[in-house]
Amino acid sequence: MFDMLDFDPATVDEAGLIERIEALEKFKCTAAAAQARMTAALDGMRRSAEADRGVPAHKRGKGLASEIALARHDSPTTGGRHLGFARALIHEMPCTLAALEQGVLSEWRCTLIVRESACLDVEDRRVLDAEMCGDLTTLAGKGDTRIAAEAKKIAYRLDPHAVVDRAKKAPGERGFWIRPAADGMVWATALLPLTQGVSVYAALKREADLCGDGRGRGQVMADTLVERITGRPADVPVPVTVDLVITDETLLGGDTEPAWIPGHGPVPAAVARHLIKDAIDDRRSTAALRRLYRHPSTGALVAMESRARTFPTALGKFIDLRDDTCRTPYCNAPIRHHDHITPAARGGPTTATNGQGLCEACNYAKEAPGWRTTTTTDDENGQHTTELTTPTGATHHSHAPPLPGRITTNLLHLDVVRFRVAA
């Protein structure tokens, strides 16, 4: 198999390349099945060892999903999905596991089957597993939508009450999120009950059907969404507070170095100056400037210190600006907690060096037995680094990202422009 990774385009024709691509796809599925087996074995070992140590049942396996996520270079949320997926396949769904091992189903399509069967008891889940994947020839040509629909149909037939009960609980998971998009945009995502989601789309579509002012349908729908949520036209500034990290050269000297919005990412210099100008020119706006200093060769922020047990507002903001998102490797979740790397209960100081920004899940995961975190700030480059050690002894490093600005040999400063567009 590994011989197929090395090939000479001059000696392999198109049909040969297609054959290799298909073979490697099956190999990825086989590897995913092996990962599932290993994950389930690790789960069993960990729980057994913790039971022998007298750990209460409800605390066994705590932090294991985050450990798996680190090993797979994934976020903690995805690690939890990998762990649940492995448990289901290995202990309850042998036919789906066989389909994955033989490359008939991808890991994602197996995940869809596991997800749709999650509301069933073990016996019904095994029946669904046999019906869906007992005969692997019936899976040929089926895409994501058909796989999910058939699994849902079988689940409803086996236990309609369980499916209905899950549907009744689902609205409790409704929510709204944003995540960065390209070119100074964001993706806004809402998880809504079916009827509400359809009604929102229908209302926006109806407005687009009636509009004839030259805007595209998508533009009209997006503008209408903003207007109906905020209560004002889409082109009128909305009350919002924005932290914009920008170098003095970009702010005042016309430099092209991008600015940075924590949690969002880089903003082109011209766009950043335009945002600040709008905030200053609009009478309904207020703007405040806070000066920070960064290391001349790396862009790392300088340290701040406090004797308080909890992080004061200014120090917490400093950590937010320095870390940008959760410091756990591969986790890009927003910062929710300011964590003492060496806990305050063990004498850890409330300093920028001993502080890190974490999401809620990662902060709780590191409290599980066997997790250790240490930190350093390099005297030469000022970069804040943490080393995370998992219960199995694996180590992972996290470096605070540099802030905008060119690397020079002189001590430089940058500015945080906080502007609020007021009503």
**What does the pLDDT look like over 344-373, one tens digit per residue?**
778 888 888 888 999 988 988 888 888 999
pLDDT of 363: 87
Q: What is the chain's length?
A: 423
Task: Note the Cα 5 to chain centre separation in Å.
Answer: 31
pLDDT of 120: 94
pLDDT of 423: 40
Tell me the pairing of strands 384-389 and 372-377.
Answer: antiparallel
In three-state form (DSSP H/G/I as H, E/B as E, the rest C), the secondary structure along 45-97 is HHHHHHHHCCCCHHHCCCCHHHHHHHHCCCCHHHHHHHHHHHHHHHHHCHHHH
Residue type, position 331, single letter:
C
Question: Does residue 303 sit within a domain?
Answer: no
Task: Round the average pLDDT of the chain to a whole number and report it.
Answer: 83
Q: Are residues 11 and 149 in the same domain?
A: yes
Q: Are residues 253 and 361 in the same domain?
A: no
Question: Does residue 368 sit within a domain?
Answer: yes
Q: 0.75 cut: is pTM over it?
A: no
pLDDT digits (tens, 9 = 90+) for 2-21: 566 777 777 888 888 888 89
> Could you please report the per-residue DSSP string of 204-236?
HHHHHHH--SS--HHHHHHHHHHHHHHSS-TTS
Q: Are residues 96 and 78 in the same domain?
A: yes
pLDDT band at 288 (very low <50, low <70, confident <90, very high): low
Strand partners, 290: 416
pLDDT of 305: 42
Question: Does residue 404 sit within a domain?
Answer: no
SS3 content of the chain, % helix, strand, coil (to 5): 50, 15, 35
More reliable by pLDDT, 332 or 290:
332
Q: Are residues 12 and 107 in the same domain?
A: yes
Question: Does residue 95 sit within a domain?
Answer: yes
Q: How many domains does the chain have?
A: 4
> In this structure, what token pair is assigned to residue 322?
């320095």
Last residue of a domain, one of 187, 207, 230: 230
Residues 6+ apart with CB under 8 A from 73: 329, 330
Q: Are residues 261 and 350 in the same domain?
A: no
Question: Does residue 156 sit within a domain?
Answer: yes
pLDDT band at 42 (very low <50, low <70, confident <90, very high): very high
Question: Does residue 235 sit within a domain?
Answer: no
Question: Does residue 405 sit within a domain?
Answer: no
pLDDT at 134 over 50: yes
Instruction: Specify the residue for token string 């939890």.
Output: 80
Q: Are residues 7 and 150 in the same domain?
A: yes
Q: Are residues 179 and 155 in the same domain?
A: no
What are the CA-CA distances from residue 114 to residues 82, 86, 93, 193, 349 (Å)? 11, 10, 8, 22, 45
Q: Write phi, then psi, for 267 (nearest 5 degrees).
A: -130, 125
What are the CA-CA distances from residue 360 to residues 153, 181, 331 (Å)? 36, 23, 11
Q: Are residues 217 and 149 in the same domain?
A: no
pLDDT of 272: 77
Residue 341's domain comprises 313-399
Q: Are residues 41 and 150 in the same domain?
A: yes
Q: Are residues 265 and 414 in the same domain?
A: yes
pLDDT of 306: 45
Last residue of a domain, one of 142, 170, 198: 170
Q: Are residues 29 and 113 in the same domain?
A: yes
pLDDT of 121: 94
pLDDT of 292: 61
Question: Does residue 48 sit within a domain?
Answer: yes
Which of these ranges, 204-213, 216-225, 234-243, has the smallest mean pLDDT? Answer: 234-243
What are the CA-CA distances from residue 203 to residues 118, 175, 193, 211, 350 (Å)? 34, 20, 16, 13, 51
User: How far, in Å, CA of 90 to CA of 318, rounded?
Assistant: 46
Q: Are residues 288 and 321 in the same domain?
A: no
Strand partners, 351: 305
